[in-house]
Amino acid sequence: MAALQIVQTAILPQTPRPIVSIGAGGIVHDAHYPAYRKAGFTVAGLFDLDQDRAQQMATQFNVPIVYASLAEAAAHAPADAVFDVAVPASAIPAVLRQLPDQRAVLIQKPMGENLAEARLIRTLCYEKKLTAAINFQLRYAPFVLAAKSLIDQGVIGKVHDLEVRVTVYTPWHLWGFLAKIPKPEILYHSIHYIDLVRSFLGEPQGVYCKSVKHPKALMMDGTRTNLIFDYGDVLRANVETNHHHEYGLRHQESYIKWEGDQGAIKVTMGLLMNYPRGEPDIFEYCVLQEGQAPEWKAVPLAGSWFPDGMIGTMASLMRYVEGSSDVLPTAVDDAFKTMAVAEAACLSSDGGATVISKQ
């Protein structure tokens, strides 16, 4: 057998473009800017409604220009800049309207807070001739790239089962705006897994879903979700999340598991466990060998979901714009399909279960 190529890093552009950052909140501080610094990308300027916050970020990350307004950022950004838009989902359309036409834009997920907003965002991108992608960065986490490289080489055979299970304690109070949003767990967390499932398995026929509240977080419309994808009678895919396991690390779980007819891959997403400190990621795979007991092999990982996944989404957009790649994996057209599945999940959750006959 030829030596396995276990790819863990995204391909970088030949000529990185400057980045102009719109929004400088926590995700930009914790993931975007560390990712760009690691990749050698330059943030040429930034704008945030909170100018004090913007100045602090500029000082910390050596950003040379802080724009006084969005209009100033749009007017004075370098001609070849990529706009990195990281604002609340409901604010995305207003920001896009003010950006110059025919530019490259990476938009923080989700693509709006419902399918109607996603449709509007897509329309604005068409009208303004924007080369736009949504920041579904889990696709580019080192452990996902490694799994894809093994699957693409046929190591585990034909995949017939994909499972995501998250049983952790998430401090929802850090994101107070989520209390006002319908189905926040689906739209702001499980949407990553919806996008991941689609990227590996294609388009499902439908979904079954129930997202429920927790007694200690009744102000939020669902923070625990069970989601089943309908891919017919053989292929199984499901996502199960519980963000209120406040009983210590011992029984927390955070994993993705792919099973094929010749082997399996299991990834522990340590970032979500023992949050915000996190735990190490773990990558293991098993290949069936005739006459031998199954044996799991561990693969060392060179990075994690944050910040490394953020490198991949920005790099893929830069590569597409420069012409070194003819595919933009998280383009708005593809991301819209992820939003359509998320919308179907929300509708399924509200629609209720099949009534059990009493006869």
Q: How many CA atoms lie within 13 A of 119 on its CB side?
A: 5
Neighbours of 149 (CB within 10 A): 15
Q: Could you give the CA distance from residue 19 to residue 314 in angstroms, rounded to a whole number?
A: 9
Nearest 5 degrees, angle CA 89-CA 137-CA 176?
40
CATH topology for 19-138+309-324 is Rossmann fold (3.40.50)
Positive or negative, the Cα torsion across 71, 77, 82, 84? Answer: negative
- Map out the domains of the chain as residue ranges: 19-138+309-324, 139-306
Alpha helices for the chain (secondary structure H): 26-27, 33-39, 51-61, 70-76, 92-98, 115-127, 142-152, 184-185, 191-201, 305-322, 332-351
Q: Could you give the CA distance from residue 336 to residue 329 in angstroms, rounded to a whole number?
A: 12
Please state which CATH number belongs to domain 139-306: 3.30.360.10
User: The tokens 């359509």 sit on which residue?
Assistant: 340
Q: Could you give the CA distance from residue 226 to residue 189 in angstroms, rounded to a whole number?
A: 13
pLDDT by position in tens, the chain (length 359): 567 889 999 999 999 999 999 999 999 999 999 999 999 999 999 999 999 999 999 999 999 999 999 999 999 999 999 999 999 999 999 999 999 999 999 999 999 999 999 999 999 999 999 999 999 999 999 999 999 999 999 999 999 999 999 999 999 888 888 899 999 999 999 999 999 999 999 999 999 999 999 999 999 999 999 999 999 999 999 999 999 999 999 999 999 999 999 999 999 999 999 988 899 999 999 999 999 999 999 999 989 999 999 999 999 999 999 999 999 999 999 999 999 999 999 999 999 998 999 98
Tell me what pLDDT residue 173 has: 83
Tell me what pLDDT residue 174 has: 82
Nearest to 301 by CA among 318, 278, 334: 278
Tell me what pLDDT residue 333 has: 98
Tell me what pLDDT residue 314 has: 98
Residues paired with 240 in a beta bridge? 165, 226
Question: What does the longest C-alpha to C-alpha distance in the chain come to?
Answer: 72
Tell me what pLDDT residue 3 has: 75
Tell me what pLDDT residue 169 has: 96
Tell me what pLDDT residue 42 has: 98
Residues paired with 237 in a beta bridge? 162, 229
Q: Could you give the CA distance from residue 54 to residue 72 in angstroms, rounded to a whole number?
A: 14
Tell me what pLDDT residue 2 has: 62
